[in-house]
Structure 1
């Protein structure tokens, strides 16, 4: 029987009786394992992002860059174009009615029933002016209205108030109407409707135009002190309200006369 000689152990190897591993095979195994590790790591790592999008530490250029990017929309949102007065304020705080109480009365210059020119500025600093706007001469409602004020004319005159009836009728018709009622105050012929329009008392229906029934009281300084938007001839309270407004207006003047030099 032949005996195979026992392998001799070489330096650096264990005499285990096993074959020495193939170097090439070992290297291939290592490479494969390394690649596997790399693949696993790639799957578990987040995808690449710009450092500036990952919250770079404060004080770095990237952090500053983020602040600039984020601040831009905020600055744009906070930058408002110049605005005019608030719409809400104009609506809630300001009376848009023409010739509103507390505003300067619109100036006018028209002829009265005798053809004389009458202008509001003639009374400024001298006397209050009471304007009685009415629709038309020789109508029942207007006849009753002007007759009521005519009956109290002495009271208005005593308080220094100049009274005028106003409608769009011409001077000639005004004169005939005034004579028929023996009115103690003039009637102004607002033929083009400009005065009625300026005081918010003009109505237009198709090709017809007329003054609305309103009462406006202008003080000595040319400021609207009182106005009645819907004066009712048959309601005594409306007439009394006008009389009270005139009385209130005359009190400061009387006090001033007593306390003045």
Structure 2
């Protein structure tokens, strides 16, 4: 469910970039607001599909003066390969022990929420669009989306109830526009 967060400070954490360097999260939102997207396990067809949607809308995010970063629960090398395989133009960071997932309280699901029969049709459609990957990581982990302003406050978030749910791009843009005016196209 998406909502305007009560302006909670973002956790003081670091992520690992594709080169294996530890980067403080605070460096990622110091100049522009940051859309931080936590992925499910590597191989999640919904997450690959959503990463492609973020890429498709990346220029729009940039015009709305927000940066995008994707977090996976793999290692630095897996972050690099994920970014290259999908030709993503925004950074992909690694959180191998899921400590940042826990710091952000990214929800975990149960079997019904991640693979229940009510999700099979959407899964088949995502599989057709994005192919299948090899599951690696916490299969019960759900995704999460957080908009962090330049003061380090979480001003909007989306915490899904199932593995198929991701925020509507327009909802993200409306939330971002409350932080700063849209740049000229």
TM over 0.5: yes
1:202 Cα deviation from its structure 2 partner: 5.3
1:198 Cα deviation from its structure 2 partner: 0.8
Which of 117, 138, 160 is the equivalent residue of 1:209?
A: 138
Which residue of structure 1 aligns with residue 52 of structure 2?
A: 147
Is the counterpart of residue 186 in structure 1 residue 91 in structure 2? yes
Change (3 A) 1:128 1:108: same
1:123 Cα deviation from its structure 2 partner: 4.0
The number of residues matched between the two structures is: 152
Which residue of structure 2 aligns with residue 128 of structure 1?
A: 33
With CA pairs under 8 Å and 6+ residues apart, which has the higher RCO, 1 or 2?
2
1:117 Cα deviation from its structure 2 partner: 2.9
Which of 138, 159, 162 is the equivalent residue of 2:67?
A: 162
The CA RMSD measured in Å over matched residues stands at: 2.7
1:134 Cα deviation from its structure 2 partner: 1.2
- Structure exhibiting the larger radius of gyration computed from Cα positions: 1
Which sections of structure 1, spanning at least 5 residues, go unmatched?
A: 1-99, 255-261
- Measured in 2, the distance between the counterparts of 1:192 and 1:235 equals 24
Change (3 A) 1:231 1:148: farther
Q: Are 2:76 and 2:93, in contact at CA under 8 Å, matched by a contact in 1?
A: yes
Taking the TM superposition and a 5 Å limit, the aligned residue runs for 1:57-206 are 100-201=5-106, 203=108
Report the TM-score when normalising by structure 1.
0.52
Q: Which runs of 4+ in 1 moved over 4 A?
A: 231-237
Which sections of structure 2, spanning at least 5 residues, go unmatched?
A: 111-136
Which residue of structure 1 aligns with residue 174 of structure 2?
A: 244
1:104 Cα deviation from its structure 2 partner: 0.6
Report the TM-score when normalising by structure 2.
0.71
1:101 Cα deviation from its structure 2 partner: 3.2
Is the helix fraction higher in 1 or 2? 1
Change (3 A) 1:147 1:233: farther
Which of 183, 208, 218 is the equivalent residue of 2:148?
A: 218
